[in-house]
Amino acid sequence: MLILYRFFKFVFRYLVPPSLRYPFVRGIGRLVCRLNKGRREVIVGNLTPLVGKEKAMMMAPELLGNFLMTAVDFFCIRADLPKTTPVENWGHLDKAYRKTKRVIAVTAHLGHWELGLPCLVEKGYTISGLYAPYREDNIVRWIMGHRNSDVQWIPSTRGAAEACIDALEKGRILGIVADIPFGERGRKTVIAGHTARLPLGPWAIAVRAQATVVPAFIIREKPGHYRAIIHEPIAPMEGSFRRQMEQMQDVFRGHLERYLLSYPTQWGVLQAFWDSASSPQGIPAELEEASPRQRSASANASG
């Protein structure tokens, strides 16, 4: 598989002129949606609750084409992209960081989500990022080789929560993608009138570290051009450990719902998302059911 990925990167970097890269991958997206029934059904299934079945079938090739354009921008990134990407409401994050020195930037798989942390590095912050490891170590190493080397990358394996809290205590901004549960069952919630599970891990980390959460999203304006949008911070709240997690997640859920309804074809989730079609992915049950002290301990492994 890695050999195939490297072959495609070679083709796009050296054989396909930059002006043709985006049309080419959009064409691949259309072809895959036509020939790969399983992939098409997953994408249509994810889009249907947002736009209806008929529009979902029409939008599926566009979504996969957008995902592949993001892949081109990730693996063949322009050096000036983090510097030239405009950021709306930058003051929300900057003010929160100056006030608390403990900030988590939470996003979703929209637009070019990998671009967010390089943009923060460009602004002069020290950054940590939580990522989901893949099954094949050689693919992990290859992907990590394309991520910003100035970021401290933390795999979402056992001990990740402690590593994240340590990063926050050292004044690093922590970046987390919070629309897919990794290694946890997640919390059942309603988005656009349909049930899905969103991860509790990011919010467990936020509550334990008493960190301010800043929702931020990277949206594609046109091929190769993006816009970052930062929203008002979600400050630590009052109440039980569980209640604080849920309240903070509910604010993010509202943002996520609006973005999914506004930019459905930029949502780069290629696995079944909605609860009725999801396979169980175990949040540790103790994170949902145990006492506050037990939940705090359990969050150590919830990254």
Element at 152 (helix H, strand E): strand 152-155
Q: Which pLDDT score, from 0 to 100, does residue 278 have?
A: 40
**pLDDT tens digits, 183-199:** 788 999 999 999 999 99
Q: Give the chain's mean pLDDT.
A: 87
pLDDT reported for residue 101: 95
- Asked if residue 118 lies in contact with residue 148, where contact means CB atoms within 8 angstroms, the answer is yes
Buried b (16+ CB within 10 A) or exposed e, 266-292: bbbbeebbbeeebeeeebbeebbebee
Contact yes or no for 196/269 (Cβ under 8 A): no
Q: Which residues contact 116 (CB under 8 A, 6 or more apart)?
A: 105, 107, 175, 216, 218, 228
Which pLDDT score is estimated for 280? 36
CB 49 within 8 A of CB 273: no
Predicted pLDDT at 145: 80
Contact 48, 267 (CB under 8 A): no
Residue 92 is inside which H or E element, if any? helix 90-100
Looking up tokens 């919830």 gives 302
Model confidence pLDDT, tens digit, residues 22-52: 999 999 999 999 999 999 999 999 999 999 9
Q: Give the model's confidence band at 5: pLDDT under 50 very low, under 70 low, under 90 confident, else very high.
A: low
pLDDT per position as a tens digit, 80-124: 999 999 999 999 999 999 999 999 999 999 999 999 999 999 999
Q: Is the dihedral of CA 163, 164, 169, 170 positive or negative?
A: positive
Mean pLDDT for the stretch of residues 171-176:
98
Specify whether the CB–CB gap between 272 and 279 falls below 8 A. Answer: yes
Encode pLDDT of 272-302 as tens digits. Answer: 999 864 433 333 433 333 333 334 333 333 3
Q: Which amino acid is at 165?
A: I
